[in-house]
Every structure is written in C-alpha cells, then in structure tokens.
Amino acid sequence: MNGFLSWDLHIGWLVLGGLAMVAMVVLPRLLHTRPLSVPIIYVAVGFAVFTVSGQLRGPRPLGIGFDSAAIEYVTEFIVIISLVGAGLRIERRPGLFSWVSVWRRRAIAMALSILAAIGLAGHLLGLAAAPAILLAGVLAPTDPVLADDVQVPEPGDDEEEDEVRFTLTAEAGLNDGLAFPVIHLAIAVTTATVGGSLLGWVAYDVGFRVAVGVGAGWAMGQVINIVGHRTGEFFRSQTTEGLFSLGATILVYGLTEVVNGYGFLAVFVAALVRGSDDHDYRRDAHDFIQQIESILVAVALLGFGAMLSEGILDRLTWAGVAFAVLFVFVVRPVAGWIALIGSDMPGRERFAIAFFGIRGLGSVYYLAYAANHADFGPGLSEVWAVVSLTVLLSIGVHGVSASPLMKKLDQKRDAESAPSTDTPESTPQTESKPQRGSTP
C-alpha cells in the first residue's frame, strides 16, 4: 500500500489494458481528421506511464526467461490474427498474372532489401554475419499488423480493390512466411551449421517448409470450407463465425508447425481459400477477428512503449540511427520502386507501394523468436536497438502519412475514371467502371 493508491504490476497492466480497449473505440473517431496515428499514441502513453511509475515494469527482451518468451508468444499470436484478417479481405484469386505486382515485390524488392540491409549492417554497424543476417530478415517483410490504412477494403465494403491496397495486403500476408528462411539462416550461422550445407538450407528451410506451409494451408482451408458450409445452415452469426474462424486459424497454424511447415504462410493461404466464395462468412469472421486484433495490438503497443522506457534503445549509436533512417527512407522505397519497373501502374501508385512497409510488431516477433533459439552474442543488443528505432520511425512516419496519401490516390483515381463532360458522347450510362483489382 502506497498512500491511498495500490499500484502493483498486474493491477497496472489491467488498468492499461482497459484503457487501451476504451481508446480503441474513441481515438479513431477523435483523430480521423488530425495528422496523428492511433498506434503512435499508444506507444507514447506506454512510454510515459512506465517511465514515471516506480512500481510498473515493462518487458525486457534482452533478459532470459519470462519476458523474452512472453514477447515472442504474444507477438506471434498477433501476427497470426493479422494474417487471417488480411487473407479474409482479399477477393482476387492467386494467379501468375493477377498477382504479378505481389510476385515482383517478393522476388525483387524483398531480396534487394535483405542484401542491402546485410551490407549496411556489416559496414555501417560492424555486425558479424549472424546478427547482420538476422537484422536484414527481421526488417525485410511488410507487416500486416498496423497496416489497416493501406489494406484492401473490409469484406462487404462497396469500395473498389485498387492495385496499391491489394499489393500491400497480399505482400504482407505472404512475406511473414517467406521471411522465416532468412531468420533460420541467421540461426544456422550462429551454430556454424550452414558452412557446408547451404544447399540443405535452400532445400529444407526455403523449399520444403514453404511448400508444406502453402500445401497445408490450401488443404486445411478446403476442409474448413466444407465444414463451415455444412454447419452454416444451422447457425450463423458474427460470434459463431468468428469463433469458428479463430479456432480454425489456431488449428491450421499448430498442425502446420507440427509437420515443420511455416504456420504463418498456412494461415494466410487457408484464409484465402476459406473466404474465396463465401461473402457472408468473410464479413462476419473478419469483423470478429478484427476486434480481437485491435485489442491485442493496443495492449502490445503499450508494451512496446514500456519496452522503450526500459532502455531498449540504450545501445543505439549514431550509426544505428543512420541505418534506421536509410532503411526506412532509402533502402525499402528504392527496392520497391526497382521491383515495379516495367509495370503499367502510374508512377504515384508505384511510389505508394514502394514507400509503405515495415511498421509492425512482426519484426519484434521474429527478433524475439531468433533470440530465444540461438545465441547471437553481444551484437544482439544493438540489433534490438536498431529494430526498435526502425519500427518506431515507421509507426510514426507511415502511420501519419498513410491515410492522407491513400485518400489523395483515391481522389486522383476517381477523377480519372469519372466521365468527361467536354464531349457529348461521354455519359454516365456509357462510361465503364474499372474492374475490381485492375489498374486504372
């Protein structure tokens, strides 16, 4: 007891959790016309509360034990929920040409980002091979968490699925599985097992585990589809559909991991399969999943702010600051722009796709996972500092710019597709609308 207040660790987190849930409803309505993002407010509040409080303690990822494991498992679950939400939003069926912008981003932009990050980590930060590869793998993916402003419309929304939102949503869904081979490569380097078995790493961690993730996701998505259709005629509500989707998601992830596939990839693929021809399911399940995701993300962002207050940036150097700034403002945008060279998208849309990315808790998960599965030596603390600053930069810059930039793109697209009033032949009845997913 301290005066009139009893403010210990678990009560403090309960108060913050309740505050986060209330703010989740109130803040978006208060800030929708202001140049502020909800995530950065959560981080700032978490930092401030844990800085001024003598009783509360934030998570410390560099410690061994509960904190490190808790960070990994909480962020893992958040990414899983975000992936199924992203999969349920997408209506366009996967294909070589229909998803060409996504394949370009995966094959070119992600590879260039990883190579550039490894080079910068080695020459600018002086990191050894293993932590340099880890840093590159952690920051390379576009994270589906916190990316609502740049994702395709929610199921049931009348808005068109434009190419920018589609590419960013599909890319975020895919690369949380496709970044894992790089993390496993970094782990392998720490144990000196990759020296004579690079081919084995390509065959197993890249080939086999990706194939199992895609195959398991597709197969279980089909089974869940059948079960959902047969039970849907007896009961259908947002809660039952949401609970069914949540349970099925966890099952898909767990079973895929049991057979050594990438569970993140399986969850996203299963959501694509399950939602491809059932619009009522997609709407009900997505709304339920999004509510859970919003709660978890709000609490996790408070935790990220608390982690900053615990000194996760203490090992940050000027070289680390330079790395974060270069990666957010140069490496990712340039790599993304190069990947889309030759596409028929307007330059402004290529810029938007190239610019947005990172800003998420997926990077925190990958880093916590790697730290709990291998010893990266003294370089790990600097990696944590650089990643934390990069995520903080991304939350701030991308969070503030996403909504106004996407709104301008929508206005420009609407203006170009509107019927012309200069010629008598152009009338609203004869003007054709762009097809869903097409590039105006």
Query: Computed from CA positions of residues 43, 49, 53, 56, in that sequence, does the dihedral angle turn out positive or negative?
Result: negative
288-303 pLDDT, tens per residue? Answer: 888 888 888 888 898 8
Buried b (16+ CB within 10 A) or exposed e, 148-183: bbbbbebbeeeebbbbbbbbbbbbbbbbbbbbbbbb
Residue 146 has a pLDDT of: 63
Q: Which of 135-144, 210-219, 240-249 has the highest mean pLDDT?
A: 210-219
- The percentage of residues in the chain with a pLDDT greater than 90, rounded to a whole number, is 27
Task: Please enumerate in sequence order all residues whose Cβ is within 8 A of that of 48, keeping only pairs 6 or more positions apart, or say none.
Answer: 305
pLDDT category at 324 given cuts 50, 70, 90 is very high
Segment 125-153 mean pLDDT: 82
Instruction: Tell me the residue type at 368.
Output: A
pLDDT category at 343 given cuts 50, 70, 90 is confident
Residue 229 clears pLDDT 70, i.e. is over it: no
Residue 378 has a pLDDT of: 86
pLDDT category at 166 given cuts 50, 70, 90 is confident
44-79 pLDDT, tens per residue? Answer: 988 988 888 777 777 888 876 678 888 999 999 999
Residue 246 clears pLDDT 60, i.e. is over it: yes
Residue 372 clears pLDDT 60, i.e. is over it: yes
Cα 257 to Cα 252: distance, rounded to the nearest angstrom: 9
Residue 3 has a pLDDT of: 46
pLDDT category at 437 given cuts 50, 70, 90 is very low
Calculate the average pLDDT of the chain.
Answer: 80
Q: Which of 92-96, 115-119, 148-152, 361-365 has the highest mean pLDDT?
A: 115-119
Which CATH number among 3.90.650.10, 1.20.1530.20, 3.30.465.10, 3.30.590.10 corresponds to the domain 86-416? 1.20.1530.20
Residue 205 clears pLDDT 60, i.e. is over it: yes
Q: Of 425 and 149, which is predicted with more confidence?
A: 149
Task: Please enumerate in sequence order all residues whose Cβ is within 8 A of that of 357, keeping only pairs 6 or more positions apart, or say none.
Answer: 142, 143, 168, 332, 336, 394, 398
Cα 200 to Cα 356: distance, rounded to the nearest angstrom: 34
Burial class (CB in 10 A: 0-12, 13-18, 19+), 250: middle
